[in-house]
Amino acid sequence: MDGVTDASFRYITAKHGGPDVTLTEFVNIQAALYSLHTLLKDFTYCELERPVVAQIYGKTPELFYKVAHIVCELGFDGLDINMGCPAKNVAASGCGAALIRTPDLAREIIRATRQGIVDWQSGQRLDALGFAGDAVEQIKAFNRRRNPETRLLERRLIPVSVKTRLGYDRNVIDEWLSTLLAEQPSAISLHGRTLQQGYKGDADWDAIARAVEIAEGSSVLIIGNGDVQDLCDAYRRVRETGVDGILIGRGAQGNPWLFRGKHAVKQALGCDDERMLRATMPVGVEERFRVIVEHCEHFEALCGPARFVAMRKHLTWYCRNFRGAADMRARMTRANSATDVRRCLAEFMTSAPDEARGAFASLRKNAFRSSEALLSP
């Protein structure tokens, strides 16, 4: 989710939810050649997020080959090719979900990406691909900041996956999935809408179930995506379709705790007993407010006060499902710093229910700095 799953969002989600795997925002492959500092900023991650997968997009196989080397150099656990973004500016350039219309090019991109990983693992260096010495030093510095103890990066093969949709303007999952399966990516994440639909209407999970049938007998994992808001949704979709996993995006906005229940889902599926999901306890107001402050302080330390406006959407997502949440959301839309957020909480407490008053009292007693986890972009 571009503009959402930044380094702070992923850190908070990893710390308080612990999903099985995390994906970065998608990054244009052109950035590797013309704006490496931008790529490194968007690819900032911490060890807590592992396994963490770098997500990239574009339409030039030769650049995918080169960027695959950089992704490996940065120590990621996997590389995901975005062939599903419906944004007009992305699709208009032939990238994202527009690649569904150019299946031969899509296959060539997957092959070039995999070859880039293979060649890197075999010892190929970045300078041999034309990357300047300062670019190599930037990457080394990035790795040192992420993990000062890292001295020699293991040259290992990492999996290539694809994120895509049912089609461009109609459902063509039979032809399109067969095209992707021919290249044998490790996994295909399938959103149950076409590019033209964007996020309108309901995700078509019958089509996702059809994808599972098409992939039967293959080693490729099929990951379902679309309109999964909670654990009951995840459980039901796996049961109905037979997918190998569930990719959750918008459902995690303002709810990093969602992934805490992943073990309950797996146990429920193993026992065929949905009642096991009810053991997951809801998040209390005190914890919600504590994480709001922690997220704000992490973001501010990582990105600087000038960019704090980007936190506002996260703040409004957090402010749900408790008494007075609507008033809190209105206050948060005007926050310009972590200090403003604390002030909003203080003002809110003057008219908040008793449970929220106790939460704020706890906030005032504790500092929620996460300096040990902060990374410089």
pLDDT of 154 higher than 90: no
* Domain boundary residue, one of 279, 301, 334: 279
Please say if the pLDDT value at position 376 is more than 60: no
Over residues 88-101, mean pLDDT: 96
Shared domain check, 328 and 228 = no
Report d(CA 218, CA 241) in Å as an integer: 16
pLDDT band at 367 (very low <50, low <70, confident <90, very high): very low
pTM of the model: 0.90
Q: In the chain, how many domains are there?
A: 2
Work out the average pLDDT over 110-125.
Answer: 97
What's the domain range around 317?
285-373
Output 79 or 143, whichever has higher pLDDT.
79
**Stretch 273-285: mean pLDDT, rounded?**
74
**The 52-57 sheet, strands edge to edge:** 22-28, 52-57, 78-83, 160-165, 187-191, 221-225, 245-247
Domain with 138 in it: what CATH number? 3.20.20.70
By mean pLDDT, which of 101-115, 196-210, 271-285, 359-373 is the weakest?
359-373
pLDDT reading at 372 higher than 50: no
* 240 and 304 co-located in one domain: no
pLDDT score recorded for residue 369: 42
Count the residues in the chain.
Answer: 377
C-alpha torsion angle, residues 257, 18, 16, 239 (rounded to 10): 10
Q: Is the pLDDT of residue 278 over 80?
A: no
Does the residue 27 lie in any domain? Answer: yes
The answer on pLDDT for 230 being more than 50 is: yes
pLDDT band at 371 (very low <50, low <70, confident <90, very high): very low
